[in-house]
Amino acid sequence: MIDMIKLLFLLLLSFNGFSQNHKSPEYIPVGTQKVYDIEIIVFAYDTPLPNAQTYGNKPVFDASLAFELDFKPDDMLPTKKAKVQDDNGQYTIDIDGKDDSILVLAWFEHDASKFQLTSVWDKLQNNQKTIPLIHRAWRQPETKFETPEFIKISSILETENTDKDNNNATYPNNTILGQVALSKGRYLHFSNQLNLIRTQNSLNEESDDFRDFVFSITEREQVKSGEFHYFDNPWFGVLVKITQYTGEEADE
């Protein structure tokens, strides 16, 4: 009986941890908070690695508190009219046409049919010097500049081994890990905290001793809606497009 109670307790902790790292879709009044579609492509350059004897790995970012997103539920509309309460305490539909009467669904992942950068992804795949690794898009509101809400970015499954050991390779080659955030202070900013992890034989071609090379992009730059933004270093790059969504689908 005690073992059963322990098992139920562990399952409960596991469920709570899972739910805390997932952001559920919610409706945002666009009159008080702007909502954006974010599309991101992460790719590696097929370039030589540094000298294994002299290169010092970058820290692997802790993205354990970053949110993961689910696809839009079928029973939730992209937009809807806000409900307001009249003098008699009855809920009615506000149809005055004001922006704050439109609620936009946010915090969900887009499927590939909504991608705008498919042609860019295809060009990267056909380029012998680049290795496309991640192509994602989602909808979210702006978050606070002082406390941005990060979205988790990863090219590996949660079930794969991600325990870090600087002496041996513990990640699949060309792994992307980290988090990104869209925040608003006086201006709109996009934050990258991303690692590329490549593996290489650290001794010679006949040895089985592989090691990780950890590279990073750490940038927080001012961005504008409707424009492309590019972040890179000699080993990998990030292409981002941010588009403000105002709820044009409300009448569709």
| pLDDT score for 203 | 53
pLDDT at 89: 59
Determine the pLDDT at residue 152.
97
Do the Cβ atoms of 222 and 212 come closer than 8 Å? Answer: no
Residue for token pair 């499954």? 157
Burial of 57 (0-12, 13-18, 19+ CB in 10 A): middle
pLDDT at 177: 97
Query: Quick check: 177 and 60 in contact, CB under 8 A?
Result: yes
pLDDT for the residue numbered 52: 81
Per-residue pLDDT, 81: 84
Q: What is the rounded distance in angstroms from the CA atom of residue 181 to the CA atom of residue 62?
A: 14
Count of CB atoms situated within 10 Å of the CB of 179: 22
| Res 94: pLDDT | 54
Give per-10-residue mean pLDDT for the chain (252 aa): 42 42 92 93 94 89 95 93 66 52 93 95 97 97 96 75 51 94 95 94 60 93 93 96 80 39
d(CA 226, CA 224): 6
What domain range includes position 119?
Answer: 2-251
DSSP 3-state assignment of 96? coil
The per-residue DSSP string of 103-150 comes to: EEEESEEPPGGG-S-HHHHHHHHH-TTEEEEEEEEEEEE-EESSSPPE
Question: Whose CA is closest to 28, among 143, 159, 155, 185?
Answer: 143
For the chain, the straight-line distance linking the first and the last C-alpha, in angstroms and rounded, comes to: 56
Q: What share of the chain is helix, strand, coil (3-state, %, to 5)?
A: 15, 45, 40
pLDDT of the residue at 102: 86
Contacts of 87 (CB under 8 A, 6+ apart): none
If one counts the domains in the chain, the total is: 1
